Structure 1
Amino acid sequence: MADATHAADTISLAEPTIRPREAAHFGKLAADWWDPKGSSAMLHRLNPVRLAFLRSAVDRHWSGDHDSVRPLAGKTALDVGCGAGLLCEPLARLGAEVTGVDAAAENIAAARDHAAGSGLDIRYMAGELGHLDVGQFDLVTSMEVIEHVADKGAFVAALAARIAPGGLLVMSTPNRTSRSRLLMVGAAEATGLIPRGTHDWNDFITPEELRLLLAEAGLAMSEPTGIAFTPTRGVHLSSDLSLNYLVTAVPSA
């Protein structure tokens, strides 16, 4: 991995963004993270949709071969808030040299065990991103994470500091709307689709707010793409941003 820049060293002195209660909550889910019918079932439904968006973003950014099965060959990737590796492993199969970082040590232990069982060489690290000497990466991803951090500005700045020159950031997060409050916090947690206590709606962030945070960190954000759900199509990419959305960002010119 490339050495971290001075900017990354500066970020490492920032206040922690991890909330201990959030890390503890997700750490308790580590044991069945890879069970598609377990507590992380919704993440298993989301993952193919996120990967489809990510693959398209990678092909556009690096003008790659759309038919290649390893479009990230020769590139490095960092997944922040990696959980037990649900995104790290596909990134490795797409050819990247992958590092995963998570606040919960239990998740990192589960991620290492699963990667070993899958024959994948992935570097996993537990702790605060801004305090870890991980270096810089061609691709940085952070999916469904920013809504759980204490200092969103510091977190985005830490992500920006990990992007290598010419690199790409991909993020996803719930939108703060009346519909997300009703469905993602109310209905989904009440029915067990999402573990109870996972979300605080007040911590959700709108696309406009995320755009400003990224701009403050020196990044230019794409137009967001929604993640929607219907009974007929299931979870899918959409122009509807009311529940969840994905964006890419690159260093500003």
Structure 2
Amino acid sequence: MQESGTISETEIAQFDKLAAEWWAPRGPMRALHEMNPLRATWIVDRVNRHGMVPGTLLDVGCGAGLLAEALAAKGIPVLGLDAAPAAIAAAQAHAEGRDLPLSYRLGRVEELVAEGQRFPVVTALEVIEHVPDAEAFVAALADLVVPGGLLFVSTMNRSLRALLTAKIGAEYVVRLLPRGTHDWRRFVPPKRLAAMLHTAGLRVTDSAGLSFDPMRGRWRESRDLSVNYIMAAAK
């Protein structure tokens, strides 16, 4: 199986197995369901502040469409891209009949780059930790952003706390995620992500921690980037 560049056949197979359960709020994607409103709101707020020219948003690694549908429901035209066939099929099936400005495509970022496609906003949430070559992936994402556009990337910090909570705790203790979902060695420290974005010709404009509040039972924006975090960058 291919394990180099911006795609991992092993990861694709793993997420394809989850396609039928992707939209179950209490299923294996429960954490993403609970985090999704915060992620979508954070992105839309930054896009509005930036004063972007209207256009289609590209959601890379869209899976079965959790973020793509949430953004489309806010009136943003969205193209969801993923290399996992079953996930794309699940996304299309879930969106059917909803009359949203939303479409999906099976494929890789390099294919869109080769076609010369560009977008005012590109998102890649919880994806970079699943690709073999993070630098190549960020470079390809940057190529897909128009000058003056925005790129949003979210991932997990390669910290001891992330290992204990996002990997061991989530997969083996409380079983919030299927075992083997993450490889802690591929988690990305914020400084490294910022450096990759800079190398790709982007300027970091904002970042925030995505933190779970156990008292309120929901996710909230914070300054704590030690586990889950999101970063915005302008071209």
Q: Taking structure 2 as the reference length, what is the TM-score of the superposition?
A: 0.92
Correspondences of 1:229-248 after superposition (within 5 Å): 229-233=212-216, 234-248=218-232
Q: What's the Cα RMSD here?
A: 1.6
Do the aligned residues in 1 keep the contact of 2:37 with 2:70 (CA within 8 Å)?
no
Matched AA of 1:86 = L
In structure 1, the partner of 2:85 is 105
Q: Within 1, Cα distance between the matches of 2:207 and 2:144?
A: 22
1:76 aligns with 2:60: no
In structure 1, the partner of 2:201 is 218
Matched AA of 2:132 = A
In structure 1, the partner of 2:7 is 18
In structure 2, the partner of 1:93 is 73
Gaps of 5+ in 2: none
The C-alpha deviation readout for 1:27-76, integer Å capped at 9, x for no partner, is: 1111111110111111001101111211221121118xxxxxxxx8x421
Deviation at 1:134, TM superposition (A): 7.1
Deviation at 1:223, TM superposition (A): 4.0
Q: Within 2, Cα distance between the matches of 1:27 and 1:16?
A: 20
Deviation at 1:78, TM superposition (A): 0.2
Higher mean C-alpha deviation, range 179-188 or range 161-170: 161-170
Correspondences of 1:175-190 after superposition (within 5 Å): 175-190=157-172
In structure 2, the partner of 1:156 is 138
**Runs of 4+ off more than 3 Å:** none
The C-alpha deviation readout for 1:181-222, integer Å capped at 9, x for no partner, is: 001100110122111111000100001000111111100113
In structure 2, the partner of 1:49 is 38
Q: Within 1, Cα distance between the matches of 2:159 and 2:169?
A: 14
Secondary structure in 2 matching 1:242: coil
Q: Within 1, Cα distance between the matches of 2:76 and 2:37?
A: 18
The C-alpha deviation readout for 1:94-146, integer Å capped at 9, x for no partner, is: 22221111120111111111111323342211222112337111111010000
Q: Within 2, Cα distance between the matches of 1:170 and 1:188?
A: 24
Q: How many residues align?
A: 228
Gaps of 5+ in 1: 1-14, 64-71
Secondary structure in 2 matching 1:37: coil
Secondary structure in 2 matching 1:189: helix
1:122 aligns with 2:105: no
Secondary structure in 1 matching 2:96: helix
Identity %: 47
Q: Within 2, Cα distance between the matches of 1:210 and 1:187?
A: 24
Do the aligned residues in 1 keep the contact of 2:159 with 2:226 (CA within 8 Å)?
yes
Do the aligned residues in 1 keep the contact of 2:157 with 2:188 (CA within 8 Å)?
yes
Higher mean C-alpha deviation, range 152-161 or range 216-225: 216-225
Q: Taking structure 1 as the reference length, what is the TM-score of the superposition?
A: 0.86
Do the aligned residues in 2 keep the contact of 1:75 with 1:95 (CA within 8 Å)?
no
